[in-house]
């Protein structure tokens, strides 16, 4: 099964100065700094609640915020601040990239995005194929992108596994194609705006299963069902021909780079002191780098550094100098 769809290519004037992949504290702060330095900037992000900060219920140590707030509020505030200076945020999941040459391209499920510099800020909530049956059935009913593969499941019963806004949005998309969509949430509630949860609940094609885990993906040559377990209930089999997984782990999200930039032994992007990766014009910030302290304020600071470094790169000044503006 192909993981591609018809992708629209941007016009030349859609090539921005700084293309940011990931809009958590690192990517959104990078966008704020890039936009405030007069650079055109586009951020491609797959969903606030898919990121480490966006999913955190309560943050009490972000400087300047006296009362604890949900992490998603902090991300939304930084994004709104960046938008005020002209940064554009696009909801899409990047699945591939070409870092070669003076213009960098990232392919999302909806569109291709291009920038003269790229900042990778995708965090470290990625996961390896971990469910029994998952690896064997990738492309045979196991998918990670309904926008890409949903059409293959027209009039069939499918499952979506996850509790993020991304899982919710993709369920709604599938509900326009599939006969039945089972949204299996490991948590009791969706980590997403109330309006999205209400839309899911009201959709007659979608059945929401709360506090439900997937133990195994069943089928030899293609997905035939899932062995699931709702909290407090015995295991049961759910018959579906496709399963779309939106679960989180603790691995840097770098798969879409296809090995084009150097990684450490732990799988993190390697950068120099100016946030530059091994590829000219490609920078990185936040949890996608290996570091001993993963904190929102540090990710934000690294986003600022990466944006200033990208700006200097675009101006032809490779080195940073003190800047007090
Ligand atoms: C449960 C938990 C509690 C925490 N508590 C605290 C705390 O109290 N205080 C604190 O300072 N820090 C806390 N942290 C750490 C903090 O959240 C992270 O250090 C910080 O969010 C890292 O920022 P980031 O921008 O690098 O990554 P993230 O916040 O993970 O953001 C990455 C963004 O990239 C997007 N993305 C990923 N892949 C793609 C793709 N392929 N295409 C498009 N977009 C993509 C995601 O949707 C996400 O929005 C906590 C983390 C967790 C998991």
User: What pLDDT digit, counting tens, does each position of 104-120 carry?
Assistant: 999 998 899 999 999 99
List, for residues 285-309, the tens digit of each pLDDT value: 999 998 878 999 999 999 999 999 9
Three-state DSSP at 33 gives helix
Nearest Cα residue to atom 15 of ligand 1 = 295
Question: In the predicted model, what is the mean pLDDT of the chain?
Answer: 92
- The number of folded domains in the chain is 2
Torsion of CA 280, 12, 111, 276, to 10 degrees: 10
Higher pLDDT, 237 or 166: 237
Residues 159 and 202 in one domain: yes
44 in any annotated domain: yes
Residue 49 is given by DSSP the state G
131 in any annotated domain: no
259 in any annotated domain: yes
Instruction: Please give the Cα distance from 161 to 167 (Å, whole number).
Output: 7
Residues 16 and 116 in one domain: yes
Residues 177 and 240 in one domain: yes
257 in any annotated domain: yes
Q: Residue 193, Cα to own-chain centre: how many angstroms? A: 17
52 in any annotated domain: yes
pLDDT-derived band at 228, boundaries 50, 70, 90: very high
Q: How far is the CA of 122 from the centre of ligand 1 (A)?
A: 8
- Is pLDDT at 183 greater than 60 in this prediction? yes
Rounded to the nearest 5 percent, the helix, strand and coil shares of the chain are 30, 25, 45
Domain stops at, among 245, 263, 287: 245
Residues 120 and 198 in one domain: no
Residue given tokens 């029994």 in the structure block: 132
Residues 90 and 154 in one domain: no
Instruction: Please give the Cα distance from 18 to 98 (Å, whole number).
Output: 15
284 in any annotated domain: yes
Residues 101 and 23 in one domain: yes
323 in any annotated domain: no
DSSP one-letter string for 256-292: GGTT-S-B-TTSPBP--TTSB-SSTTEEE-GGGB--S
Containing domain of residue 20, as a range? Answer: 12-126+250-315
Domain stops at, among 245, 268, 297: 245
Sequence-ordered alpha helix ranges (H) in 190-258: 194-202
107 in any annotated domain: yes
Residues 91 and 64 in one domain: yes
Burial of 265 (0-12, 13-18, 19+ CB in 10 A): exposed
What CATH number should be reported for the domain holding residue 217?
Answer: 3.50.50.60
End-to-end CA distance of the chain: 51
Residues 114 and 196 in one domain: no
Tell me which residue of 207, 216, 212, 320 sits closest to 273, measured CA to CA: 320
Average pLDDT over residues 85-108: 96
List, for residues 1-22, the tens digit of each pLDDT value: 333 334 445 555 589 999 999 9
pLDDT at 317: 79
- Ligand 1 site: residues with CB under 6 angstroms? 21-27, 44-48, 50-54, 56, 59, 61, 93-94, 121-123, 125, 253, 256, 286-287, 294-297, 299
Residues 157 and 223 in one domain: yes
Q: How far is the CA of 88 from the centre of ligand 1 (A)?
A: 19
Q: How far is the CA of 48 from the centre of ligand 1 (A)?
A: 9
State the closest ligand 1 atom to the C-alpha of 296, by its place in the atom list counted from 1: 11
- Is pLDDT at 142 greater than 90 in this prediction? yes
DSSP-derived pairing of the beta strands 112-120 and 16-21: parallel
Q: How far is the CA of 148 from the centre of ligand 1 (A)?
A: 24
CA distances from 206 to 56, 62, 174, 202 (A): 26, 37, 9, 8
Nearest Cα residue to atom 52 of ligand 1 = 52
- Is pLDDT at 34 greater than 90 in this prediction? yes
DSSP one-letter string for 93-146: -EEEEE--SSSEEEEESSBEEEEEEEEE---S-B----STTTTTTBTTTEES-H
Residues 113 and 92 in one domain: yes
pLDDT at 157: 98
Q: Which residues are catalytic?
A: 145, 148-149
């Amino acid at each position: 099964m192909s993981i591609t769809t018809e992708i629209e290519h941007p016009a030349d004037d859609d090539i921005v100065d700084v293309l940011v992949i990931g809009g958590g504290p690192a990517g959104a702060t990078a966008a704020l700094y890039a936009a405030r330095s007069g650079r055109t900037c586009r951020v491609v992000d797959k969903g606030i609640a898919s990121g480490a900060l966006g999913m955190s219920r309560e943050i009490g140590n972000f400087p300047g915020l006296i009362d604890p707030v949900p992490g998603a509020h902090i991300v939304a505030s930084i994004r709104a601040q960046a938008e005020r200076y002209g940064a554009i945020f696009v909801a899409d999941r990047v699945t591939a990239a070409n870092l070669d040459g003076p213009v960098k391209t990232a392919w999302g499920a909806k569109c291709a995005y291009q920038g003269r510099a790229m900042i990778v800020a995708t965090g470290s909530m990625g996961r390896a194929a971990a469910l029994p049956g998952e690896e064997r059935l990738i492309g045979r009913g196991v998918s990670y992108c309904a926008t890409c593969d949903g059409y293959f499941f027209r009039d069939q019963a499918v499952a979506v596994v996850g509790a993020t806004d991304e899982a919710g949005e993709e369920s709604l998309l599938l509900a326009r194609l599939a006969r039945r969509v089972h949204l299996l949430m490991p948590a009791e509630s969706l980590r997403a705006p109330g309006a999205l949860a209400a839309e899911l609940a009201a959709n007659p094609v979608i059945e929401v299963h709360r506090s439900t885990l997937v133990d195994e993906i069943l089928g030899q040559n293609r997905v035939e069902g899932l062995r699931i377990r709702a909290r407090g209930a015995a295991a049961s089999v759910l018959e579906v021909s496709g399963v779309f997984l939106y679960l989180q782990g603790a691995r840097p999200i770098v798969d879409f780079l296809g090995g084009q930039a150097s990684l450490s032994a732990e799988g993190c992007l390697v950068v120099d002191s100016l946030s530059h990766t091994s590829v000219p014009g490609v920078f990185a910030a936040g949890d996608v780098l290996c570091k001993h302290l993963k904190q929102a304020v540090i990710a934000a600071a690294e986003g600022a550094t990466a944006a200033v470094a990208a700006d200097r790169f675009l101006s032809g000044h490779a080195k940073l100098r003190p800047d007090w503006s």
